[in-house]
């Protein structure tokens, strides 16, 4: 993690925890995430999709801070640490076998798909680990997370080249309402066969469980229960990267350029 000047004054930032969590867990090399230090918004830029000039502008603008995601090695350790916590011996054995070799992250997720309660506990466990890393990163950059306002106030006339860039600007999308998206989903579902519908339902349940687990793993004020710092000592690299074999099922889907 980058070092910063210890004498730098702390700066309040209205953090979007869910978007920041998504950025911290996605370490695909073609994905670059940035935190806007005034609004707390998280921008995700994907090589080959976003305008290169726009990306250059973001990277060189001091109001944007590059987000350093958690390494795949550390995320692999989380699976190793979680497996001994599973009570059911058979499931514990299947998870141990799943993380052996290439495709470990996807196989681990697939095993948990049919074990709802255990899957939710895993998401809560991973969210807690991510929050520890996020809070340490914010502290290292002299940033103090504060609650986000119910309705964002207009910026105080920032310079033209420092105005926040929206995710829609990067992706070329126009704003879409929740009702419009639901209609589009219904239209797609009506065209699918029963086997495809089973897959869609399984993925929707996966998204729902992960969102519920995030809420379960955090305090009411939006911060996690106390947790000891993670061991960041070097170790064996995992078989592959989380983003090589695991889709991002969270609510960040509308906020990513990878779609």
Residues 118-143 pLDDT 10s:
999 999 999 999 999 999 999 999 99
Identify the pLDDT of residue 67: 95
Tokens of 17: 């925890």
Note the pLDDT tens digit of each residue in 58-105.
Answer: 999 999 999 999 999 999 999 999 999 999 999 999 999 999 999 999
Please tell me the total count of domains within the chain.
Answer: 1
Distances (CA, A) of 27 to 74, 96, 168, 235: 11, 23, 22, 18
SS3 state of residue 6? coil
Q: Is residue 6 part of a domain?
A: no
Task: Classify residue 76: in a domain, yes or no.
Answer: yes
Q: Tell whether 208 is covered by a domain.
A: yes
Tell me whether residue 138 is in a domain: yes
- The answer to whether position 251 is within a domain reads no
The whole-number pLDDT of residue 247 equals 38
Note whether residue 259 is domain-resident.
no
Cβ atoms 120, 147 nearer than 8 A: no
pTM of structure: 0.59
Residue 175 domain boundaries: 11-151+163-246
């Amino acid at each position: 993690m980058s070092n910063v000047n210890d004498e730098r004054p702390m700066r309040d930032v209205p953090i979007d925890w869910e978007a920041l969590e998504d950025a911290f867990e996605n370490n695909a090399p073609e994905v670059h995430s940035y935190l806007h230090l005034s609004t707390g918004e998280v921008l995700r830029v994907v090589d080959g999709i976003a305008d290169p000039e726009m990306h250059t502008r973001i990277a060189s603008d001091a109001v944007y801070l590059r987000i350093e995601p958690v390494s795949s090695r550390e995320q692999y350790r989380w699976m190793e640490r979680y497996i001994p916590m599973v009570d059911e011996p058979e499931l514990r054995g299947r998870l141990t076998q799943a993380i052996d070799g290439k495709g470990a992250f996807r196989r681990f997720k697939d095993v948990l798909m049919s074990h709802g309660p255990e899957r939710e506990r895993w998401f809560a466990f991973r969210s807690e680990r991510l929050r520890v890393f996020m809070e340490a990163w914010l502290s290292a950059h002299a940033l103090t997370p504060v609650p986000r306002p119910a309705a964002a106030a207009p910026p105080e006339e920032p310079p033209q080249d420092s105005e926040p860039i929206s995710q829609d600007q990067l992706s070329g999308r126009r704003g879409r309402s929740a009702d419009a998206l639901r209609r589009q989903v219904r239209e797609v579902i009506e065209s699918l066969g029963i086997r495809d519908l089973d897959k869609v339902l399984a993925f929707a349940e996966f998204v729902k469980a992960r969102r519920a687990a995030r809420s379960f793993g955090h305090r009411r004020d939006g911060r996690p229960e106390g947790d000891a710092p993670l061991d960041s000592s070097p170790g064996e690299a995992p078989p592959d990267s989380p983003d090589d074999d695991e889709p991002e099922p969270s609510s960040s889907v509308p906020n990513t350029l990878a779609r």
